[in-house]
Amino acid sequence: MKRVVIIGMGFGGIRAARTLAQKGLDVVLVDRNNYHLFQPLLYQVATAGLEQESIAYPVRAMARGWTGTRFQLAEVTGVDFEARQVVTDNGTIPYDYLVIGAGSVTNYFGLKSVEQHAFDLKELVDAERLRNHILTAFERAVVEPDPAKRRALMTFVIVGGGPTGVEFAGALIELVRYVLTKDYPELSVQAARVVLVEAFDRLLAAMPAELQGYTLEKLRGMGVEVLLNARVVDAGPERVTLHDGAVIPAHTLFWSAGVKAAPLAATLGVEQNPGGRIAVEPDLTLPGHPDVYVVGDMAWLEQDGAPLPMVAPVAMQMGIHAGKSILAREQGAPAPPFRYHDKGSMATIGRSAAVASAFGMNLRGYAAWIAWLLLHLYYLIGFRNRIVVMLNWIWYYWFHERQVRLITERETPGNGCTR
326 vs 332: CA distance, rounded Å: 10
CA angle 99, 37, 276 (to 5 degrees): 50
Q: What is the pLDDT of residues 365-384, one digit of tens each?
A: 999 999 999 999 999 999 99
Answer for the pair 119, 128: CB distance below 8 angstroms, yes or no. no
Kindly give the parts of the chain with pLDDT less than 50: 415-419
Determine which helix (DSSP H) or strand (DSSP E) holds 279, and give its type and residue range.
strand 278-279
Q: What is the DSSP letter of 272?
A: B
> Domain spans of the chain?
3-32+74-106+259-331, 112-257+351-399
376 vs 368: CA distance, rounded Å: 12
Q: What is the pLDDT of residues 33-69, one digit of tens each?
A: 999 999 999 999 999 999 999 999 999 999 998 999 9
Q: Is 167 a catalytic residue?
A: yes
Answer for the pair 104, 298: CB distance below 8 angstroms, yes or no. yes
What's residue 34's pLDDT? 97
CA atoms within 13 A on the CB side of 305: 0
Same fold, 3-32+74-106+259-331 and 112-257+351-399: yes
Total-model pTM: 0.95
So what's the architecture of 3-32+74-106+259-331 in CATH? 3-Layer(bba) Sandwich (3.50)
- Packing angle between helix 312-330 and helix 11-20, nearest 10 degrees? 30
385 vs 379: CA distance, rounded Å: 11
Answer for the pair 84, 94: CB distance below 8 angstroms, yes or no. yes
What's residue 413's pLDDT? 57
Domain 112-257+351-399, CATH among 3.50.50.100, 3.40.50.10420, 3.30.70.120, 3.60.10.10: 3.50.50.100
Name residue 286's beta-bridge partners.
Answer: 289
Q: Which of 51, 128, 167, 174 is catalytic?
A: 167
What's residue 296's pLDDT? 97
What's residue 337's pLDDT? 96
Q: What is the DSSP letter of 350?
A: E
**CA end-to-end distance (rounded Å), the chain:** 45
**Residue 63: closest CA among 99, 39, 38, 27:** 27
> How deeply is 91 buried, as exposed, middle or buried, from its count of CB atoms within 10 A (0-12, 13-18, 19+)?
exposed
What's residue 23's pLDDT? 96
